[in-house]
């Protein structure tokens, strides 16, 4: 009895076009063969026909994929023309259209097929749907904008706690440039000396057990000025559960602390004389 999973040899493949059809139809992405002379699609797999209706040997690649009456130009150069020009594989991004008219981004790959005389006869084209990649790129671009333009200072550190990246908010608050900060440990660069070892031990223990810590901390600017921050520190986990790095986001709360002190002063002093009021005396 023959093993149904046995891979056919070359002779079987040559004699069994139905097998090759099954192979191409099993591909997830559109795959088709284009005549280099007139742009007509001579062969297409099921993924292609699921997206667009077409007549083999009649419809052109640009009519099927782009809803155009002429080859692609401008921002979307024609891959066939590129392959014809260079006789080499081509790769580019295009906008294709589903059967229902909805556009979607694709990465187009064109591979040349030559005849016995070395002339370009066909181009094999396959198209990868890159919507998920484009969405990720958009999300990353947005995140980069937030990172660079946030008023808060942001530090990205590696697993050893050394600074890898800082944003403009970091420089505005601390006075240190990116070049001065990268490679340093935040504690060595910014530490004020106001907190003892127990404070930091408690902070890092919470990061290790919960993945995050936030609270008030006093740090030192490049100018030497000591100032209060509100700091949020988060561990970035690796796949094994260990911290692969850290993200620190902090804001300068000097103004808030000054307002807080002013409110306390007003609460416990006479507005006319500035002397302690009766609430202060009663507390004593």
Domains and CATH numbers, the chain: 10-134 (3.30.450.20), 150-252 (3.30.450.20)
Query: How many Å apart are CA 233 and CA 178, to the nearest integer?
Result: 19
What confidence score (pLDDT) does residue 62 get?
87
What confidence score (pLDDT) does residue 274 get?
56
- Reading the chain (284 residues) residue by residue, the pLDDT tens digits are 444 444 445 555 466 778 878 888 888 899 999 999 999 999 989 888 877 778 888 888 988 888 888 888 777 789 999 999 999 999 999 998 888 888 999 999 999 999 888 899 999 999 999 999 999 999 999 989 989 889 999 999 999 999 999 999 999 999 999 999 999 999 999 999 999 999 999 999 999 999 999 999 999 999 999 999 999 999 998 876 678 899 999 999 998 777 666 655 555 555 555 556 555 545 55
What confidence score (pLDDT) does residue 7 get?
46
What confidence score (pLDDT) does residue 69 get?
84
Query: How many Å apart are CA 69 and CA 99, to the nearest integer?
Result: 16
User: Which pair of tokens denotes residue 6?
Assistant: 């046995």
What confidence score (pLDDT) does residue 268 get?
55
Q: Is 96 exposed, middle or buried (0-12, 13-18, 19+ CB in 10 A)?
A: buried
What confidence score (pLDDT) does residue 8 get?
47
φ and ψ at residue 172, rounded to 5 degrees: -65, -35
- Three-state DSSP string of the chain: CCCCCCCCCHHHHHHCHHHHHHHHHCCCCCEEEEECCCCEEEEECHHHHHHCCCCCCCCEHHHHHHCCCCCCCCCCCCHHHHHHHHCCCEEEEEEEECCCCCEEEEEEEEEEEECCCCCEEEEEEEEEECHHHHHHHHHHHHHHHHHHHCCCEEEEEECCCCEEEECHHHHHHHCCCHHHHCCCCHHHHHECCCCCHHHHHHHHHHHHHHCEEEEEEEEECCCCCEEEEEEEEEEEECCCCCEEEEEEEEEECHHHHHHHHHHHHHHCECCCCCCECHHHHHHC
Sheet holding 243-252, edge to edge: 163-166, 153-158, 243-252, 226-237, 212-220
φ and ψ at residue 65, rounded to 5 degrees: -90, -30
Query: How many Å apart are CA 177 and CA 187, to the nearest integer?
Result: 16
């Amino acid at each position: 009895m023959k093993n149904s999973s046995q891979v056919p040899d070359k002779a079987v493949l040559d004699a069994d076009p139905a097998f090759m059809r099954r192979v191409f139809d099993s591909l997830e992405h559109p795959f088709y063969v284009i005549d280099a002379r007139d742009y007509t699609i001579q062969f297409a797999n099921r993924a292609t026909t699921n997206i667009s209706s077409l007549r083999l040997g009649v419809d052109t690649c640009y009519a099927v994929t782009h809803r155009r009456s002429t080859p692609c130009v401008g921002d979307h150069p024609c891959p066939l023309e590129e392959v014809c020009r260079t006789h080499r594989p081509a790769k580019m991004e295009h906008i294709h259209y589903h059967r229902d008219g909805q556009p979607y981004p694709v990465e187009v790959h064109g591979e040349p097929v030559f005849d016995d005389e070395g002339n370009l006869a066909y181009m094999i084209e396959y198209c990868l749907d890159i919507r998920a990649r484009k969405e990720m790129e958009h999300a990353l671009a947005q995140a980069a904008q937030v990172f660079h333009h946030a008023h808060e200072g942001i530090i990205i550190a590696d697993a050893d706690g050394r600074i890898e990246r800082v944003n403009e908010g970091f420089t505005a608050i601390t006075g240190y440039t990116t070049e001065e900060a990268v490679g340093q440990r935040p504690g060595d660069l910014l530490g004020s000396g106001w907190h003892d070892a127990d404070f930091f031990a408690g902070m890092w223990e919470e990061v290790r057990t919960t993945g995050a810590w936030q609270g008030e901390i006093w740090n030192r600017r490049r100018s030497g000025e000591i100032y209060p921050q509100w700091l949020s520190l988060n561990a970035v986990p690796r796949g094994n559960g260990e911290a692969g790095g850290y993200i620190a986001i902090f804001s300068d709360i000097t103004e808030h602390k000054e307002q807080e002190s002013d409110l306390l002063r007003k609460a416990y002093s006479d507005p006319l004389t500035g002397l302690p009021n009766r609430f202060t005396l009663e507390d004593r």
